[in-house]
Amino acid sequence: KEPEPAKEPEPAKEPAPALPATVPQPEPEPEPDIPPDAWNTTWASLPTRMPVEPRALLRLLGMVATKDRPKVVSALKEQPLEDIGLLVLSRRPGQEPSLGRGCALAAAQLERGAWLNAISRWDSDEAAGVRAAVAEAIGALGKPASITALNRLSDDDDPGVRVAAARAFAQLGARLNKEMLAKAALTRLSEDKDEDVKTTAKELLDNL
């Protein structure tokens, strides 16, 4: 038999291209500065990026839990007080509950007594959260002339507002040396039909 012809060597295969170590991901869209309209009616958590516009910060302050307020207040302190004050003074009862609540809380936290006259007019606002914040502002900033509004809030239909009014009476009484006034209001609230109001008032009475 004749020898078989030698086979030609097969060409070397090119190595497959190496896959990238990580697949690039699209960059996330930036958080909007303006809170969504849903913040008017539902509690919100702190956003990943704090708003930089006073109106958005006030609305956020009106929606976050008490423990998150200091971070929002810190951001508000970096804003011009004139811009915040303009928003407070131009707000009307019934407009944007989160904004109204935030304005009242901001006045208390920033100690802006000049805003209190405008805020006190919201003691009959449609939103209970706004009325409760008004009570808080009166407790922090109120003068003897504010007691009439606080009395109305202590008779509010919403128990959460009455709780806020009880705390405000205790705070205002301590600030203005009106302990007897605070004691009378808290004694009345300690007989409230709502258990939370009753318990809060009794605890505040014990600490007077």
| Residue 136 and residue 119 in contact, taking contact as beta carbons nearer than 8 Å | no
- Half-sphere CA count of 163, side-chain side, radius 13 A: 13
Q: What angle do CA 132, 136, 140 make, to 5 degrees?
A: 170
93 or 132: which leads in pLDDT: 132
Give pLDDT tens digits for 2-32: 555 555 555 555 555 555 555 555 544 444 4
Give pLDDT tens digits for 57-109: 999 999 998 999 999 999 999 999 999 999 999 999 888 999 999 999 999 99
> What are the DSSP calls for 106-152, one per residue?
HHHHHT-GGGHHHHHGGGG-S-HHHHHHHHHHHHHH--GGGHHHHHH
| Residue 187 and residue 169 in contact, taking contact as beta carbons nearer than 8 Å | no
Helices 147-154 and 128-141, interaxial angle, to 10°? 140
Helices 195-206 and 159-175, interaxial angle, to 10°? 10
Per the structure block, which two tokens stand in for 72? 């929002």
Structural domain boundaries in the chain: 46-206
Give pLDDT tens digits for 36-51: 444 444 567 888 888 8
What's domain 46-206's architecture? Alpha Horseshoe (1.25)
- Record the pTM: 0.78
Q: In whole angstroms, what is the distance from residue 91 CA to residue 54 CA?
A: 13
